[in-house]
Amino acid sequence: MTTPLRNRIARLIAAFATAFAIALPSATLGADTQFDKMRAKIAAFVADKMEKLGGSRIIYKVDTDGLREAVVTDLRDDVYKILREGRIAFSGLAIRDGGVDVKIADAKGREQLTRKLASAAEGLPAYALAVTDGGDGLLRLAPTDAASAARLRDLVEDSIAMIEQRLKDAGIALASVQPEGADRIRIFLPGTMEPERITAIFARKVRVGFRLIDLSMPAERAQTGTPPAGTEVLLGFKDKLPYLVAMDSALEGDDISYAGPGFASDTKEPIASFRFNGRGTRRFAHVTAENVGRPFAIVLDDKVISAPVIREPITGGSGQIAGNFTLEEANSVAMLLRAGSLPGRLGLVEQQVVHPATKP
């Protein structure tokens, strides 16, 4: 769920460029410094516009309870995967009091599990774990305080990316979306005097689905007639062609742990790559094993982003989405995949109209 810093900077540059031309910071500056300076410039520019034009001020709170639940659920699934793959005998695997408990009688098995978890978290502070020996083979695993704080920062940044994309899709070019405190997001919209119209944009969560394509009839015929029971016709994100897809999703956004833009190793074309959590990895392996030779659709907000054919069982828990994308489109697709995996919903804390400053 972590957004690469360079993509955050690119988003900020694009947002700022809609307001006026700007020279990029010196390449000698660190990435964090660039990001902070760009964000500060956007905030200052939009605040000035708010003072002159008035507008809307909206504050959201991210779902910290949903985040904690998602983090611990993913940890339990990762532990289960390691234990099964390593053929380590265990019992009592359960979520308890914000962490995961598991009993492993064999000392070598306990060591193997902790080593695998530490290796997976290497270089990723947000995944660091505290391991407590409860005696008699009992291990208690829980995110460290620093890891929990890092995950919260990532959730806020991903939520900001989703908000910015939704505003852009709604044709709102001038806005400032900034973190406020640890778990809140502040939106300034100069010249927009109807905050309710904006909050309606975020009233629903991004819908992500991995659905099988129905081959029982041509999609064009289903589009003009009656599609088979349990199916519907959706249009392609870019090609605008009809696709006959199952209504039920084999996997959903909650099964994704990471998504980001990149380039295909062979064609170098822009792609969106993704990785499933432990539960999603198992589901995807089962679905692909059962449907080799069939196409399946990756669906975002009722648009088919890609419809690849399953060539073989996919057991590694990751994949790539290619669709003749521009780099900006690949970034948008990756952002929507991340948004679909965000825990819970944004909670509206405040919305108000800010009137222009009174002239002397």
Q: How confident is the model at residue 35 (pLDDT cuts 50, 70, 90)?
A: low
pLDDT value for 211: 93
Asked if 309 contacts 228 with a C-beta cutoff of 8 angstroms, the reply is no
* Single-letter residue type at 209: G
Q: Is the pLDDT of residue 72 over 70?
A: yes
324: left (phi over 0), alpha (psi -120 to 50) or beta: left
CA atoms of 64 and 66, how far apart (whole Å) = 5
Question: Bigger pLDDT: 112 or 30?
Answer: 112
pLDDT value for 301: 83
Q: Residue 354's beta-bridge partner residues?
A: 55
Q: How confident is the model over 238-249, as a mean pLDDT?
A: 92
* Predicted TM-score (pTM) above 0.85: no
Q: How confident is the model at residue 236 (pLDDT cuts 50, 70, 90)?
A: very high
> Helices 5-17 and 327-340: crossing angle, nearest 10°?
110
Q: Is the pLDDT of residue 68 over 70?
A: yes
CA distances for 209 relative to 111, 212, 257, 284, angstroms = 37, 10, 14, 12
For residue 152, the tally of other CB atoms under 10 A from its CB is 18
Least confident span in 73-82, 131-140, 181-190: 73-82
What is the share, in percent, of the chain residues with pLDDT greater than 70?
Answer: 88
Q: Is the pLDDT of residue 293 over 50?
A: yes
Least confident span in 21-35, 52-66, 341-355: 21-35
Q: Is the pLDDT of residue 18 over 80?
A: no
CA atoms of 272 and 331, how far apart (whole Å) = 7
Q: Is the pLDDT of residue 152 over 90?
A: yes
CA atoms of 32 and 18, how far apart (whole Å) = 22
CA atoms of 1 and 258, how far apart (whole Å) = 4
Neighbouring residues of 120: CB distance < 8 A, sequence distance ≥ 6: 78, 127
What distance separates the 2 farthest-apart alpha carbons in the chain?
Answer: 78
pLDDT value for 335: 77
Q: How confident is the model at residue 344 (pLDDT cuts 50, 70, 90)?
A: low
